[in-house]
Structure 1
Amino acid sequence: MTRSNSTSRWNQRPEDSNWGDFGPDDQLGRLNLLTPAKVLQGVQEVREGRVFCLSLPLDCPGGTALNPRRQPPRIEPTRRGDRANMTYPLSRDNPHLLDVICDDTAHLALQYSTQWDSLAHMGQWFDLMGEGVPEMAFYNGFRAGEDIVGPIDYRGGDECAAERPSGAYRLGIENMAATGVQGRGVMIDLKRHFGTTQIAVGYAELMEVMDAQQVVVEAGDMVCLRTGTDEALLEMAGVPDMARLRNSFAALDGRDEKLRDWIIESGAVALIADNAAVEMLPARPAASDRYASHPLHDLCLFRLGVYLGELWHLSELADWLHANGRNRFLLTAPPLRLPGAVGSPVTPVATV
């Protein structure tokens, strides 16, 4: 049975969450703050008409070292009968035709390279009804097994085959795509301030950088965090040096309470980084015996409806913004409008 509103889906919401604030059946989260006025603010940042591609090549980082579950993309021709439909002369079928056809298909993990996490990407166990019975839940109280379905249904303590095909029937990436995802981007250049030394960035460190770079984040902004990881991945040319990646670069400290408070109060729509997770992983040890392995994913995706962008190519833009005394720009970044997907590749464009 699918529940139709928050009144029936949940009786209590997680601490620090905004569930229900945008409506009982909301599937957009903080994207609701990306209003026409915020789009106009982004447009007002366009002064030169110069554009920057903020995506890595879709086959970057290369291999499976960053994530063994995500395979690099594989491109193959479609088939025309028993033949590959690539540089296929139609004269083979009709000698009067001059056309030569190329047509292909791609097999790829949707979060292999530059990507968006949807709000269905990560949930938590939570006592939705306040009856002492935790359930697998996602943003705004949508449930595993009902709204986000995997091949195995774990509800009720027994494992059984799901009754419907796998996918996000709620909170899928298509909801994000339908908004256009266009507004004002704000750059925070962690590499310029800290270099490539590994550092967990909490509230104090973030404020230090923002003050030094005169960065102001307002509600409805999309926040970009440049660490230099993108440059390193491109230098590695498809063979990631995991020792270097694990021991270098700044990343957000998802267990820093003051940083979490800042994210809650900032009204930011998205946190975007050129690294693989936005936050530092593995995270610092938690104080309790039950905890989120990805504390920032928990706060952003599960509690606040704040979107996470990972493995973006930010360095060229960050350098240009610094050279021109700026840190704001128009950001256009819709994901694939692929119903049911929990993440998506994205080819973001910054216009300055």
Structure 2
Amino acid sequence: MSGSHADDDPGRPADAAPGGPAVSRAEFDSVFAAVSTWGRWPEADRGAWNRVTGDHVRRAAALVRSGTTVQLGLPWNTRAGPDNSRPALHYMSDLGDVEAPEPATHKDFIAADYHGKAVSHLDALCHVAYRGRLYDGRPARESVDAGGARFGSVEALGPLVTKGVLLDLPAVLGTDWLEPGHAVRARDVLAAERALGVTIDEGCAVLLRSGRFRRRRELGPWDADAACAGLHVDAVPLLAERAIALLGGDGDSDVRPSPVEGVHSPVHALAVAAMGVPLLDNLDLEALSAACAEARRHEFMIVVSPLRVPGGTGSPVNPVAVL
């Protein structure tokens, strides 16, 4: 079928509010405490990546059958628009037109304020604080200043190789995309596992496809800060119970508008600040969806290697799935 719309979305009742059922601040704080892993690992600034051992890497490698590789990063986005208020920079710094010994060289410069909705990136543990605390209870004001982060920086994470699971919600629901504001609940995650024949388990990376970039190609860009499909708060305890290492998607994992008054990114707060789970934002999952459908499996090896930025709050990244 063609793209779904809010009033005919098969994955959401017609009377469902955008963002899903409201969650009070007290209820949210209870969830935060329940999923917290503060104090669990000596290398606290690696958070949930401490779960991934050599056994997990070997398990992931065993998922490679055809050797098909799929890059998950978006093209470098230098064009302003409703979902790109801070365009990335790319310009040529050397055109090989200055007399010099052979060979001539061509050089370019790139830069990005990458947190947002336009650049595929990884959120490190220093990126999110809730009630003044980073992951593991570290005071944010003492841990991050104008020189960068002294705890939870992206350099502390290193690379990750583990099992990836694609929760392809549009494929499960028989539609092309989820409409902005569609809240993915715990029951939807369980239904997707059953329908796709996958298991979310310890140390794996969970990727949620909403079909955002297919919708964008067909209908044009919109302000994804105001409305975007993503996870509802009630899905997070399930992911915490399964002991995941990484969460990502073609949005930023949060449904928008937020169901929690006064908390604009509740899934960010729960995943990063409570669980120590880094996030992958703004992935292009369309090619992976097609590859998984062709292979008839939605589990694969994923390789994530962020830039080594001392004190960095994250990194632009181009993860690779290998089937």
TM-score w.r.t. the length of structure 2 is 0.82
Distance in 1 (alpha carbons) for counterparts of 2:84 and 2:76 = 15
Residues 13-69 of structure 1: per-residue CA shift (max 9 Å, x gap) = 94431111112x511111011111111111001111111111110117x4152253x
For residue 36 of structure 1, the aligned residue among 54, 57, 62 is: 54
Residue in structure 1 matched with residue 167 of structure 2 by the alignment: 188
The correspondence of residues 12-161 of structure 1 with structure 2, limited to 5 A, is 14-23=33-42, 26-59=44-77, 62-66=79-83, 68=85, 71-78=86-93, 85-91=94-100, 97-111=101-115, 112-125=118-131, 136-149=132-145
What secondary structure sits across from 1:206 in the alignment? helix
Separation in structure 2 between the aligned mates of residue 224 and residue 213 of structure 1, nearest angstrom: 13
Consecutive unaligned residues in structure 1, runs of 5 or more: 1-12, 79-84, 92-96, 126-135, 150-164
1:241 aligns with 2:250: no
* Aligned counterpart, 1:281: 256
Residue 170 (structure 1) shift: 1.2
Q: Is the 8 A contact 1:202 1:253 kept in 2?
A: yes
The 8 Å contact of residues 144 and 150 in structure 2, kept in 1 or not, is answered as yes
- Give secondary structure in 1 for the equivalent of 2:35: coil
Any idea what the Cα deviations from partners look like across 1:154-204, whole Å, max 9, x if unmatched? xxxxxxxxxxx331121111112x2x2111111111111232243211111
Aligned to 1:152: none
- 1:208 positional shift: 1.7
CA–CA distance in structure 2, aligned partners of residues 197 and 98 of structure 1: 54
User: Quick one: structure 1 residues 64 and 341, their matched pair in 2 at CA, closer, same or farther if it must change by over 3 Å?
Assistant: farther
2:275 match: 304
Mapped contact 2:196–2:297 kept (Cα < 8 A): no
Change (3 A) 1:301 1:285: closer
Percent identity, please. Answer: 25
Tell me the matched-pair count: 286
**Letter in structure 1 aligned against 2:305:** P
Match of 2:210 in 1: 227
Q: Distance in 2 between matches of 1:266 and 1:225?
A: 15
Question: How many Å separate the matches in 2 of 1:218 and 1:45?
Answer: 14
Paired residue for 1:272?
248
In the aligned structure 2, how far is the partner of 1:334 from the partner of 1:304?
21
CA drift at 1:124: 1.3
Q: Distance in 2 between matches of 1:39 and 1:191?
A: 29
Please tell me whether the aligned partners of residues 142 and 148 of structure 1 are also in contact (alpha carbons under 8 angstroms). no
Distance 2:112 2:229 in 1: 28
How far apart are 1:74 and its partner, in Å?
1.4
CA 1:183–1:301: 2 relative to 1, 3 Å: same
Q: 1:340 aligns with which of 270, 291, 311?
A: 311
Q: Partner of 2:153 in structure 1?
A: 172
CA distance in 2, matches of 1:146, 1:43: 40
In the TM superposition, what is the alpha-carbon distance from 1:101 to its structure 2 partner? 2.1
* 2:300 paired with 1:314: no
Q: TM-score, normalised by structure 1?
A: 0.75
Query: Which structure shows the higher helix fraction?
Result: 2
RMSD of aligned Cα (Å): 2.2
Contact 1:86–1:102 (CA<8 Å) still a contact in 2?
yes
Partners of 1:217 and 1:41 lie apart in 2 by 13
Instruction: Give the aligned residue type for 1:203.
Output: A
Over 3 Å counting, the alpha-carbon distance change for 1:197 and 1:329 in structure 2 is: closer
Partner secondary structure for residue 193 of structure 2: helix
For 2:19, the equivalent position in structure 1 comes to none
1:304-324 per-position Cα deviation (integer Å, ceiling 9, x unaligned):
101111111112112221222
Q: Distance in 2 between matches of 1:341 and 1:293?
A: 22
- Judged with a 3 Å threshold, the aligned counterparts in structure 2 of structure 1 residues 333 and 300 are, in CA distance, closer, same or farther, namely same
Kindly state the Cα deviation for residue 299 of structure 1 after the two structures are TM-superposed.
Answer: 0.7
Higher Cα Rg: structure 1 or 2?
Answer: 1
2:213 aligned with 1:260: no
* Helix, strand or coil at the partner of 1:145: helix
1:100 CA drift (Å):
1.5
Distance 1:246 1:140 in 2: 30
Shift of 1:99: 2.5
Distance 2:103 2:264 in 1: 55
Note closer, same or farther for the CA distance 1:323–1:99 as it changes in structure 2 (3 Å cut): closer
1:89 and 1:98 in contact (8 A); partners too: no
